[in-house]
Structure 1
Amino acid sequence: MILISSDKSSTLEAIDNENKCWIHTVDFSLVKSIDENNLIGFKKNERTKNLSNKFFSGNEIFFVTRMDNKYICYGYTIIDETTKTDVNLYGFYENRFKLKIKRIKYFLQPIVIDDIRNKLNSIKSTGRISDVLKVGYYREITQEDYKLIKKQSSTTGMFPVYFEVYTKNMREFILNTCKSIYNILKVEKNYSQIEITKFLSLLKVSLKGYGINKDADELKRFYSRYAHELGFKHVTTRDPEKFVVLLSHSGEKNNFGYISLE
């Protein structure tokens, strides 16, 4: 018979705690606030003492929300530390127990839960998915399910462009405005290239003239996602302050700093 010391048992328990994985269903209205604050919490009716024994630094959390009448997984993060505060977070998380999280990694394409549900042992159920993934609650999943979800899509550190409201016509209009600005710059021949960020500032001003108000970060996300459709030649830079991550059609990520005008 093999005996395991209490110290050994404690070590194994600590490892198990660190390796826990969760799905958290987020109210859609809170997605942006969580991105900006890196802080999440729990419903008021959860007991703080029980939560302290379940959630630990290093645990990984997938975020799910309801969009276009579908439950989608849009990213994941790691718990940085647990904390307690009486602040009613976002007017939603009323429990004192809160989770400070690391920067969220977002899926380039949202993962529709119904498409993979039958493969996920942790949430396989004959009941309604709304009962399985209740808004505001957490559900522990296995390491196998965790790995399966991560395989479904590449990730980015940028807030997803699919959360922005772009109709097909709006997307085409912004892309066409990019092309118009590009052609004007080429005709002027004052530059051989332009910084992508400066180009986007011109785009912002141009769109505002048509009554379309988009902030710099939103246009940067838009350009990163759709630049490959423009056919512009982009130039790399060694200056990290000028880096803009552009996605290829296949989702491959590369850093660029300039748009060539030659």
Structure 2
Amino acid sequence: MDKDQKDLFDFAYNLSGTLRRQLSELYSASHTLLDGEKREDDPILDGKAAAFDKQYFAMVRLMENLSDVRYLDMGALLPLQYGDLVTLVGDVCQKSQSASGRTIVFRCPEAKVVWGMNVKGIERALYHLLSNSLKFSQDAVEVHLSQQQGQVVLSVTDSGCGMDEKAVAAALALPKPTDVYTAVNGGFGLGLPIVQAIAAHHGGTMTIDSQRGKGTTVQLYLPKTDRSKICVGDVEAMPYITKSGFNPTLIQLADALPSEAFCLRNQG
């Protein structure tokens, strides 16, 4: 990362905090007007309010993606602790399937895989990949977790439109400062670079196997972590706006879900 990019990402991170606060106030004000009891009794009103909520949640997701630029700083320390990957990945898949109404198949040959990881980082990486798969494919999404040759392999596979080699390279390239004003498919084009950076923070790598018209498989390879690098005690949680009583998965997948997913019954 060169100096111009680092300056840009520092600005983006600081900007995201300010915009999140403004969005939170907007959300509170809108729901003062869109009374919850009236929404429960009036499906038409609930549908109109859900369309607004989809746009709100999509904006919050963009702000969280701006916050995620911190992962792109490879000089920063990402604290690692032992945790069960099967529980973490299975939970994200279950929540994503429930929110999207789509089939997400999770397969792992083991009942438990205790691994050194940053829980929030792995969770964010998986949500980025699931969002892409749900957005570009109408069929089931498959998630696989296994141990191979002393490392964990986490993969997400879809049967969507796929990418050629040039598109894959473009998707992995960090945006230039001059590109900051250009949104890509409703985002900033940061998703896959962030996922790749999260893998690198774990000492691992990411691969993309994709062909036009034949879908995409993204694999994260996470090696065992030296015990000396495992944090003892609580790890400070990264600040997000998704702790407000509604379903946070709706934010993580906002740009991949229909407005019906944001009806009041789904937000608890």
Q: TM-score range by the shorter chain?
A: under 0.3
Answer 1 or 2: higher relative contact order, Cα 8 Å, separation at least 6.
2
Which has a greater percent of helix? 2
Per the normalisation by structure 1, the TM-score is 0.21
Per the normalisation by structure 2, the TM-score is 0.21
Which has a greater percent of strand? 1
